[in-house]
Each structure stands twice: as C-alpha cells, then as structure tokens.
Amino acid sequence: MSYVDVQGRWIPTIGFGTWKLTGSTCHDAVAHALAVGYRHLDTAQMYGNEDVVGQALEASAVPREDVWLTTKLLPGNLTAERVRTSTEESLRALRTEHVDLLLIHWPSTDVPLAETLEAMAALVDDGLIGAVGVSNFPPSLVREAMAITPIVANQVEYHPYLSQDALLALAREHDHLLTAYSPLARGRVLDEPVIVEIAEEHGATPAQVTLAWLLAQDHVAPIPKATSPSRIEANLAAADLALSDDELARITALDEGQAGRIVDPPSAPDWER
Ligand SMILES: NC(=O)c1ccc[n+]([C@@H]2O[C@H](COP(=O)([O-])OP(=O)(O)OC[C@H]3O[C@@H](n4cnc5c(N)ncnc54)[C@H](OP(=O)(O)O)[C@@H]3O)[C@@H](O)[C@H]2O)c1
C-alpha cells in the first residue's frame, strides 16, 4: 500500500468506494477489501451502509488504527447541531470512536459554510474526527473553506474524461488530497480504445491502467468501488503498474471538459466557479 503525506497525515492512496453497496454484499466486499490490503474506506451518511461497513471493519483482523475511514455529512445535516449529532450517529453505526475524515458531501446554499465548518472543527478538537474535508467543491468554494478551517481533502469526480487541473493545482499548493470518485467513470473507461491498447501492452486491464494513471499523480487518491473479489483485488494491484510519460499523456488527452462529467445533479454548484 502506498501513502501520501497530507499535512502530516499518511493517507493510503487507493481507497475502497462503497456507494450502492448494502447488506451482505457490502459486508463481504468491505471484508474482502480489508483482507487483501485496502486500508482506506469511503462511506457516507447518504449511502445507508455505515452500519454494515462498521460491522465489516470491526469483524476484520485489521486494527482500526490501520484504516483511513472517511464518511460524509448528508446535505440535511449541515447545521451546527446536526453536524455534531449526526456525526455521533455515524460513529455509533460505524462502531468506532472517531472517523479519520469527515466531509461535507455537497456544498449547501441553505446553511452558511462557516457554521458547518466551525462545527466540524470543534469535532476535531473533541477527537470525534481526525480531519475536516469537503466534496464536490469547485475552486472558489475550496478557497472559501480553507479560509475558515484547514481542509485535508476535496473529494470530486475525477477520471480520464474529466480533468481537474484547477482543483489539482489548489490541492498541491495547499497540501490537501484530491480524492478521485468515480475513477473508472463508472465503467466507461473499460471500452476506451486508447486505454484498452495501453492495457494490452502491459498485460493489465483497462481499470488498472486508469487507476495507475490517477495513482501517478501527486496528491490524488482514487476510491474505486467493486463488488466481486477478483475486481477488488485487481483494482488494488493497479498500484504495481507503472505507465510511461507518453502513456500518461495519451490518457490525459482523453479529457472532454465538462461534457465528460457524470455526476451533475440539479443542486450541483457551478463547477467552474
Ligand atoms: N462524493 C461524492 O459525491 C461521490 C459520488 C460518487 C461516488 N463517490 C464515491 O466514489 C466511489 C467510486 O465511484 P463510483 O462507484 O461512482 O464509480 P467507479 O468506482 O468509477 O465505478 C464503479 C463501477 O465499476 C465497476 N468496476 C469496478 N472495478 C472494476 C474492474 N476492475 N473491472 C470492471 N468493472 C469494474 C463496478 O462494478 P461492480 O461493483 O459490479 O464490481 C461498478 O459498476 C463510490 O463508491 C463512492 O464511495 C462519491
């Protein structure tokens, strides 16, 4: 497992995404991910699976302190009071005394950003969370957040069809992680001719090539979700794949700008602000 130093914290650069995983499927997938070496789990209040993720983590032979555990506040839980009470609920569900990272899942137009972030900072002071982060924040909002409290991560959609140059530059300049969600573009990369060709040259899979492209970037951590044991293992093995500068550039050239974005609900912020 490789790690990146972010503000003195060592964060595993490949994480396990759990959106859409519930019940025994979720339990088995998380248990397998931990057994084969993942040390970074991504869940959210919205996913309705914190309880199962917590059970799998508790039952695993991996010590809790070896795992970087992230959860996210539901958009309805952003007032100061709900930040605290809903995080306490998350911790009970996750069967842990603290999470390593708590994110604002989506920016809000209802609750002032300072109210939410100051309440999250108080949770750091009280030891309920290790660090504060955001998700789906465009550059101007990341700057606004950083002016209120230290931000350890911004989790955004990032894959070959959607470049994130502005957010990446901010992450490197201010030493926070750019966590790449939907890193496989939900499977779209699997049929991409450029990626398929590079994969064949390396005897690897298109998913591994895509993850290796993300892992080659400083301050980036992809969090692929997979269900079957073989995919869970194959995705982790992407860390062993080294691509040439030319191969990396060919994948970077697949960028489609905003047209490449998959996750774009009506409530989404102005991404380029
Ligand atoms: N912050 C946010 O707003 C936000 C939004 C979206 C996602 N996320 C996080 O990011 C994680 C990952 O994103 P995602 O789930 O949207 O998309 P993703 O990881 O890009 O793609 C997941 C899809 O790819 C398939 N897959 C995984 N590994 C594969 C492999 N080796 N070969 C072929 N297919 C493979 C999975 O199938 P199977 O499951 O059937 O194996 C699943 O259908 C989520 O689980 C969640 O934790 C966060």
Residue type, 214: L
Mutate to test the pocket of ligand 1, among 30, 181, 215 (most ligand atoms within 8 A of CB): 181
In the reported structure, the alpha carbon of residue 225 is separated from the centroid of ligand 1 by a whole-number distance in angstroms of 4
pLDDT at 258: 96
**Residue 20 per-residue DSSP state:** T
Percent helix, strand, coil in the chain (nearest 5)? 50, 15, 35
Backbone φ and ψ of 90, nearest 5° = -60, -45
User: Contacts from 125-130 at CB under 8 Å and sequence distance 24+?
Assistant: 127/97, 127/98, 128/84, 128/87, 128/88, 128/91, 128/97, 128/98, 128/99, 129/87, 129/98, 129/99, 129/100, 129/101, 129/102, 130/9, 130/98, 130/99, 130/100, 130/101
- Round to whole Å and give the CA distance between 262 and 222: 16
Average pLDDT over residues 193-208: 98
Backbone φ and ψ of 31, nearest 5° = -60, -45
CATH: 3.30.70.260, 3.40.718.10, 3.40.47.10, 3.20.20.100. Which one for 10-190+220-228? 3.20.20.100
Average pLDDT over residues 2-25: 97
Calculate Rg over the CA atoms of the chain.
18
pLDDT at 4: 97
Q: Which residue has the higher pLDDT, 248 or 272?
A: 248
In the reported structure, the alpha carbon of residue 126 is separated from the centroid of ligand 1 by a whole-number distance in angstroms of 33
Where does ligand 1 bind, in terms of residues with CB under 6 Å? 17-19, 42, 105, 135-136, 155, 181-187, 190, 205, 207, 223-228, 231, 234-235, 263
**pLDDT tens track for 175-189:** 999 999 999 999 999
Catalytic residue among 3, 38, 47, 161: 47
- Round to whole Å and give the CA distance between 100 and 3: 15
Catalytic residue at 181? no
**pLDDT tens track for 67-77:** 999 999 999 99
In the reported structure, the alpha carbon of residue 65 is separated from the centroid of ligand 1 by a whole-number distance in angstroms of 25
**pLDDT tens track for 32-47:** 999 999 999 999 999 9
pLDDT at 1: 87
**pLDDT tens track for 76-117:** 999 999 999 999 999 999 999 999 999 999 999 999 999 999
> What percentage of the chain exceeds 70 in pLDDT?
100
Domain boundaries, the chain: 10-190+220-228
Instruction: Retrieve residue 150's tokens.
Output: 């230290």
Instruction: Quote the mean pLDDT of the chain.
Output: 98
